Amino acid sequence: MKALIIGAAGFVGRHLIKNIKENTNWQVYATKITRESDIADIDGVFDLDILNPEEISDVLNQVRPDYIFHLAAQSSVALSWKTPALTIDINIKGTVHVLDAIALLDYRPRILLIGSGEEYGFIRPNELPINEENPLRPGNIYAATKAAQNMIGKIYAQAYGMDIVMVRAFNHIGTDQDPIFVVADFCKQVAMIEAKQHPAVMKVGNLKAKRDFTDVRDVVQAYLLLMEKGKSGEIYNVGSGHAISIEELLNMILSLSDVKIEVTNDEAKMRPSDIPIIEADVSKLHDSTQWTVTIPLMQTLRETLDFWRNKVAGLDYDK
């Protein structure tokens, strides 16, 4: 069997490659954008711009994958506010280009489309935890593009008989995540303060929002299980099933440091609109695959902070 991971050079892609190699005997192929670092120890890597349909077709015809994980995305809510047109191009137009290219193949590979728990948007208190049938009320540009992506995926599955499983992934965290995301940002700041490379003041955004955090290693295990056992045309939540406030998350990270750190609000980290709470109902995922969270949140935070301590110190760290 051959697996193709589109957009594999990022945080999730690296963990997904490792999971597939450890748990299957599949051949693994990957795509990345030209400026990204190369990907080692897999069967093939292709530079690919998903806004170029011909490039997509060329890769598909060379690899002829049995499984396609579509990870390529502009995945930052904060960045989507700054670059809405780019976010729309990558997340919607890019996905349509991928699906159109797959539709032209003379066989039907299985596709996993990765959406987001942000699609649910402004959740009402009586709707928690949120399940896959709940109405979508996107509250930011990124969420709107991911909602559109999954809607289009469902249409293609129905109209063209394509084998597409869709995911709404909630916040996933871990080592080597870009510090534009909250946990990596907090851990990097603490590590720099401990190393006396930064004043003992942490800059934060909205601490009252509540989010559902899961270790990326558990998330990619869910992706692999859904690729094997998910029902075509269906959408599955992937998350811990438990939301905590960003303030509680921050306090957990601060408890891992012996340094006294002041916390201050930074207007630059505030978003024009922020969803108060997002929490997943993952019973559908569990019923279909028996997946469950295996890595405690505190363990992930400790490993992420250690990663940034080593990175700030100029040491290699591979987790």
CATH number of the domain within which 261 lies: 3.90.25.10
144 plus 253 within the same structural domain: no
CA distances from 294 to 101, 240, 300, 318, 319 (A): 37, 10, 11, 20, 16
CATH number at residue 117: 3.40.50.720
Domain-embedded: residue 282: no
Domain-embedded: residue 62: yes
For the chain, how many structural domains are there in total?
Answer: 2
Considering the entire predicted model, what is its pTM? 0.94
125 plus 50 within the same structural domain: yes
Cα distance between residue 85 and residue 38, in whole Å: 27
260 plus 150 within the same structural domain: no
Domain-embedded: residue 317: no
Domain-embedded: residue 284: no
pLDDT at 90: 97
Q: Rounded to an integer, what is the distance from CA 263 to the centroid of its chain? A: 27
pLDDT at 30: 98
pLDDT at 316: 58
* Inter-residue contact 169 to 238 (CB < 8 Å): yes
pLDDT in tens, the chain (319 residues): 999 999 999 999 999 999 999 999 999 999 999 889 889 899 999 999 999 999 999 999 999 999 999 999 999 888 999 999 999 999 999 999 999 999 999 999 999 999 999 999 999 989 999 999 999 999 999 999 999 999 999 999 999 999 999 999 999 999 999 999 999 999 999 999 999 999 999 999 889 999 999 999 999 999 999 999 999 999 999 999 999 999 999 999 999 999 999 999 887 777 665 788 889 999 999 999 999 999 999 999 999 999 999 999 987 554 4
151 plus 196 within the same structural domain: no
pLDDT at 44: 97
144 plus 271 within the same structural domain: no
Structural domain including 299 reads 182-211+242-277+295-312
268 plus 146 within the same structural domain: no
Burial class (CB in 10 A: 0-12, 13-18, 19+), 26: middle
pLDDT at 268: 75
Domain-embedded: residue 258: yes
Cα distance between residue 99 and residue 140, in whole Å: 24
138 plus 86 within the same structural domain: yes
The one-letter amino acid code at 252 reads M
Domain-embedded: residue 288: no
pLDDT at 319: 41
Domain-embedded: residue 290: no
